[in-house]
Chain A
């Protein structure tokens, strides 16, 4: 069926059957590859995007449920003040290793800072629980979120 998607401020018409995960429409149809496939079962967070500003796992979000919503991906984060602060913090602290999980980490981090401008380490650990990093960059993710909070405050 034809579906109208609002993604990163642009409207797209895509052909996809109900039940198709948003992840594969973003990656294979719209060719925005910053959003990653890691598990397909909502347990790693690599595919995290924002749906009306809220982080969701796009591998378990079905295309028929997102019509009319505003979808935002990592490619748009440079335009977002919180996204920019997080990216700046990530580069300052060299958070990334292989980098494959980091789009998802950043999308979740932005979601956290949007609802909590100064999260504690425990709050970060709780919010970021679902974003796995097999390279175990967690300590820098935690520091990166706190650094981004500082950048935002300044």
Chain B
């Protein structure tokens, strides 16, 4: 049973029950502050008089490990063992918890969790340490310089006492403006291979509570009857057959006409009643196109002069350089629509408290989105809306829609009731695949001119597809001079030294709702860049690794870091020494501030099918805070990239999505990749993203391995639809 309280009051309540407490957090102006309650600040850490330490996690946990990562930072500075720290998710409060990289928007995305919190959480832990030591020194009448905190005890001057004894006094003190952070030589937990995830046990025994597991007293379950054709509007329905379903309550057209809400006593009744409902749709403004038409529009755009000259270079110069080249290689790539398909279908639950507040129980990735939308829908001030952030069964970007799509849908379904019963919105897998938000389809057309010696003379790179950021709250942040940076990232900012590079972009018409998908633009740009690098290397008669290194040589730190992961992956994979019957392909890419190189080794033939025997990866993501979580994220990112490249796509016919469920959007399966080995570069740079950077190089490395094995360069995804089979 989920209690009828918000996370915020839960934290306050816990503090009151345990007596004195010390909170260290940020004031609204961003300065660090100490307090005996969290009323005036948003805390990063709470320590109660029993000595219980709770890290307050402002980023949401969808499997990528911020709960463990941020707790690690606090535990390190506070001198705790990992089993001495707990965590809780932060309430939605964008003023204080804003993601430093996103502006006033509390969210997790762009692999920023560790990057922006690395200083903040260490400072909070360090400030707590200094205050507790200071208050112990005062109590004991000794010099604080001789005291330290070890495993939850203040020790020194021949005495020791639990930290909880000092929280009351510490909470009255002003924290130091610049607490002394432990130096890397003093770290025992940061970078420690043996640190385990804090959530492993509850996720292995069924006790972890996901949003889907919320059961509030007297709740109704609602599912939405949706149109086949995207964008059709509900005009009415006949529920006479639905009335035969036991547990069906009623149905109502959503205020925005996007569908019909079907209310029932439980999930199965709701699903059954929806089956039985017949809805009439107005399709006059609905999408009617098919994937082939969307593809044709993209292909035509690639052949026309691009809408945007991304690098502001002279296109004629690039064209002339290619014209005069000894060899020209050309390739046109197509990347289909993709669904995110997180394992836990989307859902959330809304209830109204006795005081008229609204509580949303949600695996919210960007709580600010629903928080702002709900103020409008319910006409309530921000403080009357509470978001209980639950565990999320994956996201890959899907739970972070700028328009808070599914939370708004639940709110609309809730406002149509008398609000006496909580409403739980459940999406089925069919809803997820057919009515969702997609990685937009993109095309790339690349022409590269090489000199007789194999030097790149010109690189004409055109990209066309539907913008993700335009028309969203992120437009100001991501769109400059008309160019949606997320459409070209990974090409326009490539660390390769590419002489004569021109990057052109054309936005195509809206076909579906689009959304960032694990690694955003890099999902297609890395593929085009890295397959082209292999084709260019081949044309130049050079080894693919060596050719890439040539184009990374003599540059700055960016090139050096990219070259280093490439060399490391090649060395660990035994590049150039594949055993008989095996072939290797390589790709390296920078995204979210991190560098990842991957070597894919395959066996088999085009006729009998290929098998991925091994993926060897190297990653540089700055200081590795939790090495094993980095490894796990790389493994997952590689699997996600490869699985979709192998066989997944969303297609439209007459405006309707053709896929229904996993049987026609087949997930990566356990046997698809024989082994993954991840090597982490030792680094002293600030930590950068790890949730996404594993994905971009994985598919092009596979494509390059297939090209090495078969002279088949796959430029159209998914691979199984374009001449490749897998054993």
On A, residues with C-beta under 8 Å from B are: 17, 20-21, 24, 27-29, 31-41, 43-44, 46, 73-75, 77-78, 87, 90-91, 94-103, 106, 121, 124-126, 128-129, 131-142
| A134, B668: Cα distance in complex, Å | 7
Please tell me if the beta carbons of A137 and B635 are within 8 angstroms of each other in the complex: yes
Q: How far is the CB of B226 from chain A (nearest CB, A)?
A: 16
| A98, B365: Cα distance in complex, Å | 13
Q: How far is the CB of A148 from chain B (nearest CB, A)?
A: 11
- Is B316 part of the contact surface with A, judged by Cβ < 8 Å? no
- Is B279 part of the contact surface with A, judged by Cβ < 8 Å? no
- B663 partner, pick from A28, A43, A135, beta carbons under 8 A: A43
Q: How far is the CB of B242 from chain A (nearest CB, A)?
A: 14
- Is B624 part of the contact surface with A, judged by Cβ < 8 Å? no
Known: A28-B266, A103-B206. A94 touches B345 (CB 8 A): no
B430 nearest in chain A by CB position: A40
Q: How far is the CB of A83 from chain B (nearest CB, A)?
A: 9
Please tell me if the beta carbons of A31 and B632 are within 8 angstroms of each other in the complex: no
Contact with A along B187-219 (1 / 0, CB 8 A): 000000000110111111111111011010000
Query: Which residues in chain B, 634-673, are within 8 Å of chain A measured between CB atoms?
Result: 635-640, 643, 661-663, 667-673
On B, residues with C-beta under 8 Å from A are: 62-65, 196-197, 199-210, 212-213, 215, 221, 246, 266-268, 271, 341-345, 391-396, 428-429, 628-629, 632-633, 635-640, 643, 661-663, 667-676
Please tell me if the beta carbons of A98 and B673 are within 8 angstroms of each other in the complex: no
Q: How far is the CB of A38 from chain B (nearest CB, A)?
A: 6
| A121, B268: Cα distance in complex, Å | 37
Please tell me if the beta carbons of B209 and A33 are within 8 angstroms of each other in the complex: yes
B271 nearest in chain A by CB position: A40
Known: A44-B662, A132-B662, A138-B670. A106 touches B210 (CB 8 A): no
B1 nearest in chain A by CB position: A31
Known: A24-B266, A96-B197, A124-B670. A136 touches B203 (CB 8 A): no
Known: A94-B197, A135-B63. A36 touches B212 (CB 8 A): yes
Q: How far is the CB of A29 from chain B (nearest CB, A)?
A: 7
- A132 partner, pick from B210, B343, B428, beta carbons under 8 A: B343
**Which of A35, A40, A77 has most B Cβ within 10 Å?**
A40
B212 cross-chain contacts in A, Cβ below 8 A: 33, 36-37
| A90, B204: Cα distance in complex, Å | 7
Q: How far is the CB of A91 from chain B (nearest CB, A)?
A: 5
A35 cross-chain contacts in B, Cβ below 8 A: 206
- A140 partner, pick from B215, B632, B663, beta carbons under 8 A: B632
- A87 partner, pick from B197, B205, B395, beta carbons under 8 A: B205
- B639 partner, pick from A29, A102, A138, beta carbons under 8 A: A138
| A129, B663: Cα distance in complex, Å | 13
Q: How far is the CB of A152 from chain B (nearest CB, A)?
A: 16
Q: How far is the CB of B208 from chain A (nearest CB, A)?
A: 5
| A91, B672: Cα distance in complex, Å | 24
Known: A37-B267, A98-B342. A106 touches B204 (CB 8 A): yes
Q: What are 11 contact pairs spanning A and B, CB under 8 A?
A: A33-B206, A33-B209, A33-B215, A34-B205, A38-B344, A38-B429, A96-B203, A98-B63, A99-B210, A135-B636, A137-B636
Known: A38-B345, A73-B206, A74-B206. A132 touches B676 (CB 8 A): no
Q: How far is the CB of A142 from chain B (nearest CB, A)?
A: 7
Please tell me if the beta carbons of B345 and A37 are within 8 angstroms of each other in the complex: yes
| A58, B121: Cα distance in complex, Å | 43
| A80, B64: Cα distance in complex, Å | 30
Q: How far is the CB of B515 from chain A (nearest CB, A)?
A: 16
Please tell me if the beta carbons of A91 and B343 are within 8 angstroms of each other in the complex: no
Please tell me if the beta carbons of B628 and A94 are within 8 angstroms of each other in the complex: yes
